[in-house]
Structure 1
Amino acid sequence: YMWRQEPAAISLAEFAASLVDKEKGVAGAEAALEGARHIVAEILNEDASLRKGLRQIMFDEGIVVSRKSDDAVDEQEKFKMYYEYREPVRGIPSHRMLAIRRGETANVLYFTIELEAERAIGYLKGRVHKQPGDWTPHLDLAIEDAWKRLLNNSIQTEIRLELKQRSDAEAIRVFRENLENLLLAPPAGQLAVLAIDPGIRTGCKIAVVDETGKFLEHGVIYPHQPKNDTTGAARTLHALIVRHHVKAIAIGNGTASRETDAFVREFLQQHGLNKVFSVIVNESGASVYSASGIARQEFPDLDLTVRGAISIARRLQDPLSELVKIDPKSIGVGQYQHDVDQRQLQCSLETVIESCVNRVGVDLNTASWALLRYVAGINERTARKIVEYRNDNGMFRSRVQLTAVPGIGPKTFEQAAGFLRIRDGDHPLDMTAVHPESYAIVGQMAASLGMTIEELIRNPGALERVNRSELSADVYTLNDILEELRKPSRDPREQFVAPKFREEVREIADLKPGMVMEGAVTNVTRFGAFVDIGVHHDGLVHVSELSNRFVQDPREVVRAGQIVKVQVLSVDPKTKRIALSMKALQAPPANPQRRPGNKPQPTLDASLAALSDRWKTR
């Protein structure tokens, strides 16, 4: 009766009275009406169409409201800005949503999604009411009950889930791009490196690796307090540099890194070692690697600290080859990485690693199994088999030799061969990205030009004389081959450049507003970029300080690993917060860009003139 909303011979009150049955728990007409209202409320709650409409309204007009919990403990006031915070659901960015969720997990905050009850109830009334009658007041009560008791909380839950999925997806995308930039960071190349893992009380751990990353020797020096043995430290460094023909010194950016850097620079100058350069290297994840199963397999007899120093040295030589051994979540380039869907995150990060490894290519004779496992077609098992075969039979001389490895069949070879490199092998194309199945085409090119393949590789300018119509290959394959032969064995990564930190600035206390610093971008988020300026704590360049033009996304301007110049805006030694600006060092734009949506407002005189002109035309 109530739901049909159709006039009947008897009134709603009379119909309700006819349903009284004390044995069934219906004590009176009012109880019957109350029961009917509850049934209507349940019908509304289960109506998919109504829920969809309410969900859209809450998404469009709802407000995320966060407040401080009554029993909150937030000594460092990490979540202070969210103690009383409101922002529209539709516009809240992922990093703020993630911060609120983290505060809720830490029992510091609680948040709700608020929507004016009148708006939701009005929508329901518009969808439910067909015509007025004595049922109308009861339907209104049922609608109000459905919203307050059932729909509000459940729709909130759905919106919270949608916000989580949206912020998770954005955080994972940010993590992916940061990781990609870090993995593709410029390598210093094949040179002997002496790495120093700085320390004060326990000394600085040293490890030396050769041009291929092979571990040679380790030791400890004590150039800092309390021993201050700079003479002994200099003697040890000099002996190692001479003995192993060291070309670079890599210093981990942890505790005492700036003090160690200053000592090393002075040492190099005093000993006239101007052909040896030193650089501070991001050591994030090195300690995780040193305690990992991979590190134990590589160096079972070495201490964790020595393994960490070896990782620092290799990271300077080739960041990609070393970082693939470390769980990406330990590298420190994620945005709230521990708060997002871990399975989705892991899958996404593995895809990025595979993409980077295959884009750069892998040296079949020097790569570890940890790197080989990311090559297309190769898994951990076959990667280990390749290394075992190499250890037992010596260096690979050709790509075809890979088929002799147990577990490498024709299909695996077809997938992997183009991404594997062999330097100084039997076939000159084995050092390029040209797939073995295309070697015959390159042979045709060389023959048509009266050259050998080796001569063609050494003279890429000759490729312009190739007559494509004579070659038995489709246009896409030819384009790929020609592109590779123009720059054979090219590395897509940029040339290595180290940031130059200011000598007189080593701690936060040394920073002063107005200082101009050089640093390396360590992390890029939706709200800005973190930059290592050599004081053990990264500074933040807020998105509004990245450029003198409007920036929608920080990744338009900076990327992880990039060397940038910044100006110090403010320093808070208590909270270790450093505000930086790149915009302050840029010239004002000739034509300033306005934020999209903020249209310039006409002056009063201009508005009156426009109105006057409009009336004149009538």
Structure 2
Amino acid sequence: MIKYILKHTQLPELSVKNTIELLDQDCTIPFISRYRKEKTGNLDEVQIGDIVTYKAQFEALEKRKTAIAKAMQEQGVLTPELQAKITATDNLTTLEDIYLPFKKKRKTKAETAIKNGLEPLAKIIMAQRNDEIEFTASKYLNDVIVNEDLALEGARHIISEWINERSDIRNGIRYQLENYALITTKVIGTKKDDEKAQKFRDYFDWSEALKRSPSHRLLAILRAEKEGFIRVKIEIDNDRALDKIESRIIKNNNACGKQIELAIQDAYKRLLLPSLSNELLKNAKEKADTEAIAVFSKNLKQLLLGSPLGEKRILALDPGFRTGCKLVCLDAQGDLLHNETIYPHAPQNKSTEAIKKISSLVDAYKIEAIAIGNGTASRETEQLVKRIQFKNPLEVFVVSEAGASIYSASKIARDEFPDYDVTVRGSVSIGRRLADPLAELVKIDAKSIGVGQYQHDVDQTKLKQSLDTVVESCVNAVGVNVNTASTSLLSYVSGIGPKLAENIVNYRNENGAFTSRTAIKKVPRLGGKAFEQGAAFLRIKNAKNPLDDSAVHPESYSIIEQITKDLKISIQDLIGNKEALQKVNLEKYCTDTIGLPTLKDIVKELEKPGLDIREKAKVFSFNQDIRSITDLVPGQLLPGIVNNITNFGCFVDVGIKESGLIHISNMSTTFVKDVNEHVSLQQQIIVKVLEVDVARKRIQLALHKNM
């Protein structure tokens, strides 16, 4: 396993070995990267994640090797040489090629020919020393094989299968497919004018080198094929491929050579090209999936680590026209204080009443900020709120509604608000995600947040694993207030999981707030391992021991106590005391398990304990003159918010229904390798309008500058 991981990662061997040991002890990635730096050689979360990935790959490969060896053993065909080959291979494709000749297949033409006694004839042909092969074929006639042509055809079927099972030939075709294959598409005639097919019209007649097809385009092509709008074909130079095979097999230009040539053509067309084309396309799809999932994961991380407003009293509005605007008031902890519906827009147009109502609620509930969902009627509602003369200045934020409707209909929302309908729950979610995006968004299936490309087309198991890892990383990077966190948020804390999270909340409800980290051990079923993994990520506000509200692990408390003893000051006086902390000779406090990397982290944490790594939320205003796509004109400069990032560019909300696209080529005057190096999700930017296609509802933008 270690050799396999080293081959794929180039990480230090000792680091890999120690990390595997920790993983086998059920340690989590956040815990290992933060609190076991001495063991791992200071590996970060990404490097540890790579070890986890290749460890799983190796284990899957070993499992397949065992299954194949067992199957061959049962058939009585497993020789020491084959066992050695199986053991030595570190590649799944090679492994399957070894197994191919012995794999149980559905009834084949070759199998039928062998049953009809034609295998000896096939061997004679392959020897290529017989100039009278038709005469030889006459010796193999029987009740089923009634003439020489049938005998030769059956022998060719056997030869075709032999050719198909040769790993050198398969690898030769693979090489040509990987390097020279074209992916071509044709629209299905009857679907050409289908309205749903129009979004795929770029691929009605398309051809390009498959290895140069970007992930987003390949996924779009495969979706169009899946939905029945186009046919997809993989093509290479067939003559060149056949010549390569013939040069490997045909050694004599006699009658046997002619038969082998026919068998090669049959093997290529019927067996090799279809299976290896499918294999190539499957591998290309897996690569595209990996890239798309990486984009989704990056976007999700940026969204989850979005700027929180913090513990403020918030009035949240879920805008609407006909059904009105649902309004809720939340306290600083996000608890619901009041809800009702106002109707400021058409057809009711009760804007005066709505203004009075909002103004009175702001006063009554001492509201400190207003959150407005960015869906239908968002701009109109924002303009209405900004007309109100509040007694005290109020910040007004437009908040993404993505996934709010999914949350409001979920079991989590029903459990939180059993006496309220989906509209109230959705409005609460809008307000809470302004206060703390991470705490609220963890309640929603990440796929529903809509910050990726083709998330429903990629491997769903891999997508879920990747997104869960991102959520876990973000939650633990920020830390969790154990006395206010929801079950959903707690479930992502290192070592906790859904069941223990539920136990923590139940214990908290029954016994009151936790006053120390050690008190967490009283939670049913929360044992030593879970405490070790999760304690440092759980925060206790206003605890007797101030370290309980920091990222310092309880296992290091004794070292800090020794430092304070030596400095003759209290822990309280040490925290935030940069001058005193810089005087500490860290080497003096190294132990067998805690070294300089961890001690440096402790000092950094003590300088600014519990510091939130996220920036504070900032107010943003769209151009008030832009209400619809028809108001856009090429050359305009507009404020916008990045609301999605893909491999080919980013989408920007400029305050209208349609998002505009900044193609990667319009992001900079220099070559852009990675979109994320130039913009981030929810970033406020200035864009320039390049092109407006009202009919297709497409807006082309260029990045002008960051705000």
Instruction: Give the TM-score normalised by structure 2.
Output: 0.80
The structure 2 residue matched to 1:68, chosen from 175, 187, 193, is: 187
Bigger mean CA offset, 449-458 vs 277-286: 449-458
Please tell me whether residue 144 in structure 1 is matched to residue 262 in structure 2: no
What residue is the counterpart of 1:577 in the other structure? 698
Bigger mean CA offset, 56-65 vs 568-577: 568-577
What residue is the counterpart of 1:43 in the other structure? 162
What residue is the counterpart of 2:457 in the other structure? 339
Aligned partner of 2:346: which letter? Q
Task: Output the CA distance in 1 between the equivalents of 2:175 and 2:676.
Answer: 30
1:17: how far off?
2.9
Matches within 5 A, 1:172-571: 172-267=293-388, 270-271=389-390, 273=392, 275-473=393-591, 474-571=595-692
1:572: how far off?
2.0
1:265: how far off?
0.9
Is contact 2:576–2:608 with CA below 8 Å preserved after alignment? no
The structure 2 residue matched to 1:105, chosen from 200, 221, 226, is: 226
Task: Output the CA distance in 2 between the equivalents of 1:504 and 1:374.
Answer: 43
* Partner deviation per Cα, 1:560-610 (whole Å, 9 max, x = no partner): 22222111112222222111111x559xxxxxxxxxxxxxxxxxxxxxxxx
What residue is the counterpart of 1:52 in the other structure? 171
Task: Output the CA distance in 2 between the equivalents of 1:32 and 1:296.
Answer: 72
Please tell me whether residue 119 in structure 1 is matched to residue 237 in structure 2: no
- 1:61 to 1:29, Cα distance in 2 relative to 1, 3 A: same
What residue is the counterpart of 1:600 in the other structure? none
Please give the secondary structure, in 1, of the residue aligned with 2:185.
strand
Task: Output the CA distance in 2 between the equivalents of 1:498 and 1:130.
Answer: 78
The structure that is helix-richer by fraction is 2
Please give the secondary structure, in 2, of the residue aligned with 1:458.
coil
Is contact 1:460–1:487 with CA below 8 Å preserved after alignment? no
List gaps (5 residues or longer) in structure 1. Answer: 587-618
Bigger mean CA offset, 455-464 vs 414-423: 455-464
Bigger mean CA offset, 149-158 vs 297-306: 149-158
What residue is the counterpart of 1:7 in the other structure? 129
Aligned partner of 1:577: which letter? R
* Partner deviation per Cα, 1:172-229 (whole Å, 9 max, x = no partner): 1111111111101111111111100000011100011111111111111111111211
Matches within 5 A, 1:128-139: 128-139=249-260
Is contact 1:461–1:486 with CA below 8 Å preserved after alignment? no
- Give the aligned CA root-mean-square deviation in angstroms: 1.6
Please give the secondary structure, in 2, of the residue aligned with 1:79.
helix
What residue is the counterpart of 2:15 in the other structure? none
Aligned partner of 2:250: which letter? H
* Partner deviation per Cα, 1:144-190 (whole Å, 9 max, x = no partner): 12112222211111112111111111111111111111101111111
Bigger mean CA offset, 322-331 vs 86-95: 86-95
Bigger mean CA offset, 296-305 vs 116-125: 116-125
Is contact 1:5–1:133 with CA below 8 Å preserved after alignment? no
Please tell me whether residue 165 in structure 1 is matched to residue 286 in structure 2: yes
1:109: how far off?
1.4
Task: Output the CA distance in 1 between the equivalents of 2:347 and 2:153.
Answer: 81
Bigger mean CA offset, 488-497 vs 284-293: 488-497
Task: Output the CA distance in 1 between the equivalents of 2:530 and 2:335.
Answer: 29
Aligned partner of 1:102: which letter? R
Please give the secondary structure, in 1, of the residue aligned with 2:639.
strand
- 1:2 to 1:547, Cα distance in 2 relative to 1, 3 A: farther
Task: Output the CA distance in 1 between the equivalents of 2:125 and 2:637.
Answer: 72
Task: Output the CA distance in 2 between the equivalents of 1:248 and 1:119.
Answer: 70
Please give the secondary structure, in 1, of the residue aligned with 2:344.
coil
Please give the secondary structure, in 2, of the residue aligned with 1:443.
helix
1:34: how far off?
2.0
* Partner deviation per Cα, 1:241-278 (whole Å, 9 max, x = no partner): 111111111000000100111111111xx3454x2010
Is contact 2:145–2:151 with CA below 8 Å preserved after alignment? yes
1:3: how far off?
4.3
- 1:3 to 1:543, Cα distance in 2 relative to 1, 3 A: farther
Bigger mean CA offset, 507-516 vs 176-185: 507-516
Task: Output the CA distance in 1 between the equivalents of 2:387 and 2:253.
Answer: 91
1:448: how far off?
2.3
Task: Output the CA distance in 2 between the equivalents of 1:289 and 1:534.
Answer: 24
Aligned partner of 1:4: which letter? M
What residue is the counterpart of 2:75 in the other structure? none
Aligned partner of 1:34: which letter? E
Task: Output the CA distance in 2 between the equivalents of 1:542 and 1:283.
Answer: 25
Aligned partner of 2:264: which letter? I
Aligned partner of 1:172: which letter? I
1:506: how far off?
2.2
Task: Output the CA distance in 1 between the equivalents of 2:651 and 2:469.
Answer: 25
Task: Output the CA distance in 2 between the equivalents of 1:294 and 1:553.
Answer: 36
Please give the secondary structure, in 2, of the residue aligned with 1:558.
coil
Please tell me whether residue 29 in structure 1 is matched to residue 29 in structure 2: no
Is contact 2:395–2:619 with CA below 8 Å preserved after alignment? no
Identity of aligned residues (%): 45
Task: Output the CA distance in 1 between the equivalents of 2:543 and 2:630.
Answer: 55
Is contact 1:253–1:536 with CA below 8 Å preserved after alignment? no
Please give the secondary structure, in 2, of the residue aligned with 1:337.
coil
Aligned partner of 1:461: which letter? E
List gaps (5 residues or longer) in structure 2. Answer: 1-122
Task: Output the CA distance in 2 between the equivalents of 1:565 and 1:518.
Answer: 5
Is contact 1:369–1:380 with CA below 8 Å preserved after alignment? yes
Instruction: Give the TM-score normalised by structure 1.
Output: 0.91
Is contact 1:184–1:356 with CA below 8 Å preserved after alignment? yes
Task: Output the CA distance in 1 between the equivalents of 2:351 and 2:251.
Answer: 90
Is contact 2:251–2:257 with CA below 8 Å preserved after alignment? no
What residue is the counterpart of 1:595 in the other structure? none
Matches within 5 A, 1:583-598: none
1:472: how far off?
4.3
Matches within 5 A, 1:599-610: none
* Partner deviation per Cα, 1:459-507 (whole Å, 9 max, x = no partner): 1232110122332442122122112112211111123223321111122
Task: Output the CA distance in 1 between the equivalents of 2:399 and 2:587.
Answer: 51
What residue is the counterpart of 2:208 in the other structure? 87
* Partner deviation per Cα, 1:305-335 (whole Å, 9 max, x = no partner): 0110000000000000000000111101121
* Partner deviation per Cα, 1:72-102 (whole Å, 9 max, x = no partner): 2531510011001111111111100100011
Task: Output the CA distance in 1 between the equivalents of 2:150 and 2:132.
Answer: 16
